[in-house]
Structure 1
Amino acid sequence: MTQQQLAEKVGIKFQQIQKYETGANRVSASRLWDIADALDVPVSFFFEGLDAAEQHQDVAESKSDKVPADILGDKEALDLVRSYYAIPENQRRRLFELARVLSDVA
């Protein structure tokens, strides 16, 4: 897939893809999600082989044993994330904060 084709699938200009590829611009989590979706790979694909990513996963797993190891492979979780990003940004931030508070209490 060319940079132009990827950019079209993600809905941005190919120059932005070039900036991500060279490291000139950081890739936000939501944009990484879009790129993974366009390439038909899980987000974890971009972190394969990184020790830091494995360490982060170990910490996350120790916080909650209720979270599946392959959370993006879970259809319900994937639907939830897609629905979440369909919400307008200001409401999404408020929902995120609510979820954070509820998870801290649980």
Structure 2
Amino acid sequence: MIIRMTLEVSNGTGAALPVEPMSREMDLLYGPNREEAQPVTGFSYPDPEEDRRKGLTQDGGTRIPAGGKATFVESGLVPAGSVSDLTVVVSLPSADGIRDPFTLTGVGAVVKTVR
């Protein structure tokens, strides 16, 4: 099953936040041993807005301006039986060094099925 994650980052600081090229802001883990989901790549989205948002995670990097927002989208493939036991590790961009990531457990409870 493909799980698609969306993260909106609001920059409430007075400086631009750098987003490194090919950075991953979210890692999807599943099961009691927190195995890493297989990344899903190669999808093309007909919506130009979706392409613009996904451009933040492509080569070249970008910056989130002060007071601005950015949306990150990642997808991972997990066994269907593991959807109820998902964990997402979120690493937010920072202008002052690497921050400790947030670990969100029980994510399976908020997954919506879309066809």
| Same fold (TM > 0.5) | no
Higher helix share: 1
Higher RCO structure, 1 or 2 (CA under 8 Å, sep 6+): 2
Structure 1 length-normalised TM: 0.27
Higher strand share: 2
